[in-house]
């Protein structure tokens, strides 16, 4: 039986991971710590509301008192909490540095003071490597973040490393590619496209739309995080392990292709695509090697991109009552996008 602290558990990936953990480990208990920013939503955990193994705490990871009291007695801390939208980080990076950097440092500090110490799992991103026009990034590739979001995540990764070096904190970092699936806040690329298409609204596409992303289904990511923790529990802890998590070759596609596929699935015209000036510092291609994870664990992605994109479209089509209020909440952001002026410019 393990006790988990899952921060950011009311967000997209965090809520999927809470569901995964409670579903797979009947003996375990989970505490979710979430500030409920505009991106956090208790509705994401509604189906788990009757589960007595789940406790929800609304609070800030950057609050040392909260962090210390919740980490004490935990076996595993998984830090999903973050400001996560690149466009917003370019307009105003302050909250990104506060949560992604200071918040992570506060959690790390609380983890080293706890007895016994938990395993600390930092959920990072492939965006810390920057853009590639050659080989996929490996875990030892250099960090070259190009957005304020990515820079804040890279800083957090380096803090995790420093807490391992100075305090010998058991820690692991996962760097995944772009996730898609249910419960993703509808300002992100795929849910924005699906929900705008359903509403017959224009769908903004940056630049020529030929930026390449590797798409990872959120369930594959949750399974990979679980495997990484399992590997880590079993082996000697001589350094902070880093694992890339990606969707595989069939999931590396251009943004334009993703939009065209969504419109085809929904039987909507391509004229809904609205080209807008490119975002400053926009990475052209993300690509990562997941060879290390596949070698060290039993994990491999199981979701085929086109098939799972279709299922994701279906999820948003049948969950309008979930996303319509969220879209209304983020309205100022959409209005700028719809006028063809990306927030980033």
Ligand X SMILES: NC(=O)c1ccc[n+]([C@@H]2O[C@H](COP(=O)([O-])OP(=O)(O)OC[C@H]3O[C@@H](n4cnc5c(N)ncnc54)[C@H](O)[C@@H]3O)[C@@H](O)[C@H]2O)c1
* Choices 48-56, 59-67, 157-165, 301-309; region in contact with ligand X by CB under 6 A: 59-67
Check if the beta carbon of residue 172 is closer than 8 Å to that of residue 240: yes
Distance, CA of 79 to CA of 173 (rounded, Å): 10
Q: Toward ligand X, which CB reaches closer, 12 or 56?
A: 12
Distance, CA of 149 to CA of 64 (rounded, Å): 23
List b or e across 22-43, with b for residues whose CB sees 16 or more CB atoms inside 10 angstroms.
beeeeeebbbbbbbebebbbeb
Q: Is 8 in the site for ligand X (CB under 6 A)?
A: yes
Question: Which is catalytic among the residues 126, 219, 226, 252?
Answer: 126
Check if the beta carbon of residue 180 is closer than 8 Å to that of residue 186: no
Q: Which of residues 136-165 bind ligand X (CB under 6 A)?
A: 153
215: phi then psi, degrees, rounded to nearest 5: -100, 125
Secondary structure (DSSP) of 103-136: IHHHHHHHHHHSSSPPEEEEEEEGGGG---SSSP
CB of 43 to ligand X, least distance (A): 11
Q: Toward ligand X, which CB reaches closer, 6 or 114?
A: 6
Question: Which is catalytic among the residues 129, 149, 163, 316?
Answer: 149
Q: Toward ligand X, which CB reaches closer, 96 or 170?
A: 96
Of 249, 250, 258, give the one whose Cα is nearest residue 288. 249
Q: Is 149 a catalytic residue?
A: yes
Number of residues that bind ligand X (CB under 6 A): 31
Q: Choose, by CB under 6 A, the member of 5, 6, 18, 39 that binds ligand X.
A: 39
Q: Choose, by CB under 6 A, the member of 5, 13, 71, 111 that binds ligand X.
A: 13
Handedness of CA 46, 38, 106, 219 (dihedral sign): positive
Q: Toward ligand X, which CB reaches closer, 35 or 327?
A: 35
Q: Toward ligand X, which CB reaches closer, 8 or 118?
A: 8
Q: Is 215 in the site for ligand X (CB under 6 A)?
A: no
* Choices 48-56, 80-88, 196-204, 293-301; region in contact with ligand X by CB under 6 A: 80-88
Q: How far is CA 312 from CA 125, 186, 270, in A?
A: 22, 12, 19
Q: Is 21 in the site for ligand X (CB under 6 A)?
A: no
Q: According to DSSP H, which parts of 114-242 are helical?
A: 148-167, 189-198, 218-234
Check if the beta carbon of residue 308 is closer than 8 Å to that of residue 235: no
Q: Is 54 in the site for ligand X (CB under 6 A)?
A: no
Q: Is 32 in the site for ligand X (CB under 6 A)?
A: no
Q: Which of residues 169-198 bind ligand X (CB under 6 A)?
A: 176, 178-179, 185
Question: Which is catalytic among the residues 83, 87, 109, 127?
Answer: 127
Q: Is 75 a catalytic residue?
A: no
How is residue 206 annotated by DSSP?
A: E
Q: Which residue is nearest to ligand X (CB)?
A: 11
CB of 149 to ligand X, least distance (A): 7
Q: Which of residues 81-100 bind ligand X (CB under 6 A)?
A: 81-84, 99
CB of 271 to ligand X, least distance (A): 28
Count of alpha carbons within 13 angstroms of residue 129, beta-carbon side: 26
The residue ranges that bind ligand X (CB under 6 A) are: 7-8, 10-14, 33-37, 39-40, 60-62, 80-84, 99, 103, 123, 125, 153, 176, 178-179, 185
């Amino acid at each position: 039986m393990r006790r988990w602290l899952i921060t950011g558990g009311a967000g997209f990936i965090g809520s999927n991971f809470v569901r995964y953990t409670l579903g797979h480990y009947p003996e375990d208990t989970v505490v979710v710590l979430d500030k409920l920013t505009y991106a956090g939503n208790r509705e994401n955990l509604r189906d788990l509301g009757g589960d007595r193994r789940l406790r929800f705490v609304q609070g800030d990871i950057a609050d040392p008192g909260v962090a210390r009291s919740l980490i004490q007695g935990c076996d595993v801390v998984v830090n999903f909490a973050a400001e996560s939208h690149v466009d917003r980080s370019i307009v105003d990076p302050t909250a990104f540095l506060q949560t992604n950097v200071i918040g992570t440092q506060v959690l790390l500090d609380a983890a080293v003071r706890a007895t016994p110490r938990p395993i600390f799992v930092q959920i990072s991103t492939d965006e810390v490597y920057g853009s590639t026009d050659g080989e996929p990034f490996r875990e030892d590739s250099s960090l070259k973040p190009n957005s304020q979001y990515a820079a804040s995540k890279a800083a957090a990764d380096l803090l995790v490393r420093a807490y391992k070096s100075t305090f010998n904190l058991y820690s692991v970092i996962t760097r995944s590619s772009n996730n898609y699936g249910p419960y993703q806040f509808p300002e992100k690329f795929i849910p924005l496209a699906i929900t705008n298409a359903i509403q017959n609204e224009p769908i903004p596409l940056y630049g020529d739309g030929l930026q390449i992303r590797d798409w990872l289904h959120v369930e594959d990511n949750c399974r990979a995080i679980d495997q990484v923790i399992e590997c880590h529990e079993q082996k000697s802890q001589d350094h902070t392990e880093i694992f890339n998590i990606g969707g595989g070759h069939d999931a590396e596609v251009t943004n334009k292709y993703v939009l065209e596929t969504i419109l085809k699935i929904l039987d909507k015209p391509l004229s809904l695509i609205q080209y807008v000036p490119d975002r400053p510092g926009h990475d052209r291609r993300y690509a990562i090697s997941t060879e290390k994870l596949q070698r060290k664990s039993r994990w491999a992605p199981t979701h085929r991109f086109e098939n799972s994109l279709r299922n994701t479209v279906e999820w948003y089509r049948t969950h309008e009552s979930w996303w319509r209020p969220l879209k209304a909440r983020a309205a100022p952001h959409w209005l700028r996008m719809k006028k063809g002026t990306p927030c980033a410019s």
